[in-house]
Amino acid sequence: MWKTEGTMQVWYETFTVHKRFPLTISRGTTAQTTNLWLRVEADGIEGWGEASPFSIGSYRESTDHLLEAAQQVATLLQPLHPLDRQHIEELLQAHAVPYALRAAVDIALHDWLGKRAGHPLWRLWGLQRERIVPTTVTIGINPPDVARQRVRDWLALTGARALKVKLGSPDGIEADKAMFEAVREEAAEGLTLRVDANGGWSLADAIAMCRWLSERGVEYVEQPLPKGMEDALPELYRSSPLPLFADESCFTSADVVRLADRVHGVNIKLMKCGGLTEAFRIVHTARACGLQVMFGCYSDSSLSITAAAHLSPLADHLDLDSHLNLVDDPFVGATLQDGRVVPNDLPGLGVQRRADIA
């Protein structure tokens, strides 16, 4: 039996990361983000988590918003212990804590548990790292010549086996087609191509593009329609020759049930769903509904990417590449092995500060 002592201390601070290649999607361009590093401590053990801000439609989580909520969270957690996860989750929900900050807390509690048990999370969960599939690397919206260069850059940097091509250009589907053709021509033979429109198409354009992309060997299309247009998905579902994945339309496990008859899979992001606990629920709900699952990311460092990597043996597809595009990632954790993001054997997350091991 474990003896629990004392109460939980919480520390948090911000850090800014810069992208090697600024990323443009249908909603805009990101070159840097300021994320939050959260630490919880109890019984002489520290657990680490990360919150990275994101915006989807009218839902916005800024760094300032996360910092403001973090003070409240520190007060809420102080009387509790990291093993009180059910109570903590209920408190965070009751106080409407932002999803990304919930994720930071949940990740930190799991990291603490793994360190207390002396095992990596993937081992505690009984998962097999050998089942982790290769991750995509992302080609943002760019003119065709720039897109060609990005393909060359990413292949040289990572030896990637799959590319996610961002479409949904504000310039329309003809611009999308020109860019995609440039990427396809530059891609190495045998490279898997996937498309993410980030809700940048109308229904008519989505129908046309899914048919066009299917003729060019694309594996699936992610978030073809904007969040809020879920009622139009059944028509696209019936006409599309390609599988459809929901991202912005799917935050939590409750959304999976509402989408089950109109998509083929869902994209799980720890920031969007609130952490590993809810990510597990989404996986099992999706499987019960006959859907595939993938894990994605925002502008996450290696800290939260590694957290997702521990759960990734359960995924059909992975898009865990944000840390590969950072020039100043302060953390070291999961490593790229033959195109796969693989967690290590250290207890908990197995994440360290780069400054501490340099």
Question: Where residue 107 sits, what CATH number does that domain have?
Answer: 3.30.390.10
Output the domain CATH number for residue 131.
3.20.20.120
291 and 248 part of one domain: yes
Amino acid letter for position 218:
V
- What is the number of structural domains in the chain? 2
Short-list 39, 105, 91, CA closest to 271: 105
Average pLDDT for residues 54-72, to the nearest whole number?
93
For the stretch 282-337, pLDDT in tens is: 999 999 999 999 999 999 999 999 999 999 999 999 999 999 999 999 999 999 99
Measured CA to CA, the distance from residue 193 to residue 163 in angstroms comes to 5
If asked whether residues 87 and 110 sit together in one domain, one would say yes
Is residue 1 one of the residues assigned to a domain? no
Residues 101 and 155 in one domain: no
Q: Are residues 191 and 300 in the same domain?
A: yes
Domain boundary pick from 55, 86, 119:
119
**Same domain, yes or no, for 312 and 289?**
yes
Tell me if 2 is assigned to some domain. no
* Mean pLDDT of all residues in 22-27: 82
**Does the pLDDT of residue 358 top 70, yes or no?**
no
If asked whether residues 111 and 154 sit together in one domain, one would say no
131 shares a domain with 108: no
Is the confidence at residue 122, as pLDDT, over 60?
A: yes
Distance CA 58, CA 55 (A): 7
Tell me which residue has tokens 């957290």. 307
> pLDDT digits over 277-293, tens only?
999 999 999 999 999 99
pLDDT tens-digit map of 154-189: 999 999 999 999 999 999 999 999 999 999 999 978
Question: Same domain for 131 and 272?
Answer: yes
* pLDDT, mean over the chain: 95
- Report the C-alpha gap between 196 and 139 in whole angstroms: 10
Same domain? 208 vs 103: no
Domain that holds residue 76: 9-119
